[in-house]
Chain A
Amino acid sequence: MSILEVRNVSIRYKTGDFKDIGLKEYVMRKLTHNYTVNYFWADKNVTFSLEKGEMLGIIGSNGAGKSTLLKAVSGIMEPTKGTVKRKGSIAALLELASGFDKELTVKENTYLRGAMLGYTRKFMDDAYEEIIRFAELENFQDRPFKQLSSGMKSRLAFAIASMVQPDILILDEVLSVGDGAFRAKSEAKMRQIIGGGAATILVSHSLSQVRQMCTKVLWLEKGEQIALGDTQILCGLYQQFLDKTITLDRVKTVWGWLNGHYDYLVVGGGMYGAAFAREMSDRGKKCLVIDGRALLGGDAACENMNGVTVHKYGPHIFHTDRQDIWDHVNRFAEFVPYDGGFGETWQGVPKDGYTKMVERMLEGIPTVTCMDYRKLTDAFPGIADKVVYTGSIDGFFEYSLGHLEYDSLRYELERLELENFQGRAIVELQDDPAGCARVIEYKHFLGEKSAGTVVAREYPQEWLPGRMSCRPVGGARNTKLYRQYLELAKERPDVIFGGRLGEYRDYTMAEAIAAARARAAEE
């Protein structure tokens, strides 16, 4: 059995002004039937369990029910419904710095706190010196507690509490005490306790701390259990939630998706990935699409700035000679024709941008942005039978044989309070002293009417790992290296490498879509 089992715990809290009303008011209200007590559920149906050596992080906004839950776990409160089963001793550190007696001295408080935590006198006699040393309060032992700074109080509280080797340790905002040096020390101490086999619950507002220390995460919001599971994934979602880039409903939906099982996990929401997922879904397969970026569309991703549709990673014009591909993409977007350029039958730019187009391509298909492939598969190793990987193939193998090389470009975006800057979408520069190759004024792609404009200056740059990868350079070295990676890929028959980066091939958007549809047909 687990060391701690919390099953369907609901806690009803009483609120209202009943605390502050006196006897007279109470009697009056009772007589006039005006006495109302509000109940609210601080926690609703929370379920989790904890094993030895595990550390559970509880995250959630203020008022999520974290502290109340901890009170139930530590036995201070009794759950209104559900059960809490504990096996072994429990030490709870809730709101550390409070609960000391400000009139007593540091030493007296230390003993009192030790006694509250269930230590014996002998233990305290032995541990006292060490506690004071750890808290760095050697010179304050006989000072009244009220003279201590809040940092000192927290340090002492932590030092006392961390003396034990409990079976279950509960830490509520404990590790964020003191300065950097003390924090490092306290974290080391925590690790030691956890290493000793304790099951730990950590509530911290420091997400990075939760990421570093916790083996799993429970996310509460308004008493509701949003999710329980992998630390990295949930912290990532929580960060987005804090940044207000994702709603709670969306989080729940996404978490539900992540806990599903799929035929295909499509990594990358660019043209290839989207086309593949669309095709497979239409054939009745279950697909999950993830993308590391916030916006779908791969390098063609679009964002509205100042009323102008901006291609975030350089201008993209859709062009093809193939009727079927053109018809296909026109299912998802209305194209504004683009004159000149490629000399192909159909050329254009989707009226509301590529991101919207891809979103429509993926309609009805679970799609999660800002999701790292590795973190996902670490958390859910068996999430899909097959993976369609449209990231770089060398990246997939952690560059174990070296880096494949690409051209790279750099864009400097500028918003201008002008209606028009250069009169057309793309102006090529010759011999620009700053090295700028092209100037792109996005509004002209779609003929957008807006007061301001957005201009991007394009500079070629040396490609380095981590920089934007545009066209594969090719050449003998890269071709050979790519072949070596392909050999590695043979050992992963469950992974399909596709797209410009996955196949190390200079696809146009149309070609990528065509390749994806063809590949899907082979499946």
Chain B
Amino acid sequence: MSTPQKKKRPAQGRDRATGIAAKLGIGRVVHKMKRYQFLFEELVKRDFKKKYKRTVLGMGWSILAPLLQLLVMSLVFTRLLGRNTPHFTIYLFCGNLIFTFFSDATKGGMGTIMGNAGIFTKVNVPKYLFLLSRNVQALINFGLILVVFFIFVAFDGLPFTWKFLCLLYPICGLILFNIGVGMILSAFFVFFRDTQYLYDVFTMLLMYMSAIFYPVDRFPENIQQLFMLNPVYLFIRYFRMIVIDSVVPSFTYHMLMLADVAIVLGIGCFMYKKYNTRFLYYV
């Protein structure tokens, strides 16, 4: 834990992005990730094993649960709300896919500091490893459902275009966003156990506000604009635009997403940095 840190000096000709990244400590994080790779892998394994322990279907649940949810939703809402929306199942699936990933990663991330108190009070390891490992698990789940999603897309007769590559942008954005929210939540959770209940209420509220099972275009224009304030909705809408409408969102739209991610991740990192040595007193 105290082997002298080899600080890699950024090579002369590298672009400025590397320099900024180094300033943000990303280089250090990457270096640490390398050093803690084995631990990280073991943590991911542990999280997986613990999640699917004593379940018959094991990882199958990761796919089945959202699919069942989708089934229920489409049974309930297609008649009610989606009569005029083309590809309503895919419309629902987009919302479900993104929101499940978001809530799975953040709810799971919330307990990572508390849950690993037994480790970091005894061994000096970076605390974000626990959160990252939990996020990897959520990401793998997401990947599985994403595959199913694409199968649905194919069955629905929607064309796969080069624009699908753009989906990497919201996916990467969401990963970082989830990490950021997870950091904030897990830090809060250490100080206030109420966080869990408050967040449950909040996610429910967020779900209703993310236009998962209803179309937005029925709302007046100014209300539609308000939806843009919801970062999760931005991710969902991005998916719908690419997959259903085959439209790449505007540059501003991209920037808006980036800003959301940057803000949340920034706050998260700040909290971890600030409270890094103080978590110990609360667990």
Contact = CB atoms under 8 A, between A and B. Distances in A.
Nearest to B124: A75
Contacts of A94: 121-122
Given A23-B192, A24-B194, A76 B120 contact: yes
A14 B275 CA distance: 13
A413 B282 CA distance: 58
A108 B50 CA distance: 11
Interface in B1-32: 1-3
Interface string B37-67: 0110111011001100100000000000000
A77 B277 contact: yes
A121 B38 contact: yes
Chain B contact residues (Cβ within 8 angstroms of A): what range? Answer: 20 to 34
Given A89-B3, A90-B2, A112-B43, A76 B192 contact: no
A104 B42 CA distance: 11
A76 B124 contact: yes
Contacts, number: 93
Interface string A81-121: 00000111110101100111101100010011011111111
A114 B46 CA distance: 13
B247 interface: no
Given A23-B194, A108-B45, A13 B281 contact: yes
A19 interface: yes
Contacts of B195: 23
A74 B125 CA distance: 11
A11 to B, nearest CB: 11
Contacts of A101: 46, 50
A116 B125 contact: yes
Given A14-B281, A89-B3, A26 B124 contact: no
Contacts of A77: 277, 280
Interface in A134-153: none
A78 interface: yes
Contact of B194 (A18, A22, A75, A100): A22
Contact of A86 (B2, B39, B118, B281): B2
Contacts of B194: 22-24
B42 A118 contact: no
B123 interface: yes
A99 B121 CA distance: 9
B53 A103 contact: yes
Nearest to A100: B118
B198 interface: yes
Given A23-B194, A77-B280, A116-B39, A89 B50 contact: no
A78 B280 CA distance: 10
A284 to B, nearest CB: 52
A115 B193 contact: no
A99 B118 contact: yes
A26 B194 CA distance: 11
The listed residue with most A CB atoms (<10 A of its CB), out of B123, B192, B278, is B123
Interface string A1-43: 0000000000001100011001110100000000000000000
Contacts of B42: 108, 111-112, 115
A24 B194 CA distance: 9
Interface residues of A, number: 40
B68 interface: no
B210 to A, nearest CB: 25
Contact of A75 (B1, B49, B50): B1
B155 to A, nearest CB: 39
B75 interface: no
Interface in B115-143: 118-125
A76 B49 contact: no
Contacts of B123: 74, 76, 92, 99, 116-117
A90 B1 contact: yes
A120 B195 CA distance: 36
A26 B193 CA distance: 11
Contacts of B120: 76
A45 B42 CA distance: 39
A78 B1 contact: no
B24 to A, nearest CB: 22
A121 B41 contact: yes
Contact of A120 (B38, B49, B121, B198): B38
Contacts of B3: 88-89
B46 to A, nearest CB: 6
Contacts of B38: 114-115, 119-121, 124
Interface in A119-174: 119-121, 124
A7 to B, nearest CB: 16
A52 B81 CA distance: 75
The listed residue with most B CB atoms (<10 A of its CB), out of A74, A108, A116, is A116
A19 B282 CA distance: 5
B114 to A, nearest CB: 11
Contacts of A24: 194
A116 B198 contact: no
A520 to B, nearest CB: 57
A158 to B, nearest CB: 14
Contacts of A124: 38
Given A76-B123, A87-B2, A104-B50, 14 more contacts: A71-B121, A71-B280, A74-B1, A78-B277, A92-B124, A94-B121, A95-B122, A99-B121, A99-B123, A111-B42, A112-B39, A112-B42, A112-B46, A119-B38
The 10 closest A-B pairs by CB, nearest first: A115-B39, A23-B194, A75-B124, A115-B42, A14-B281, A86-B2, A99-B118, A23-B192, A116-B123, A115-B38
23 contacts: A13-B281, A14-B281, A19-B281, A23-B195, A23-B198, A74-B123, A76-B121, A76-B280, A77-B280, A92-B124, A94-B122, A98-B122, A99-B118, A99-B121, A101-B46, A103-B53, A108-B42, A108-B49, A115-B42, A116-B39, A116-B122, A119-B38, A121-B41
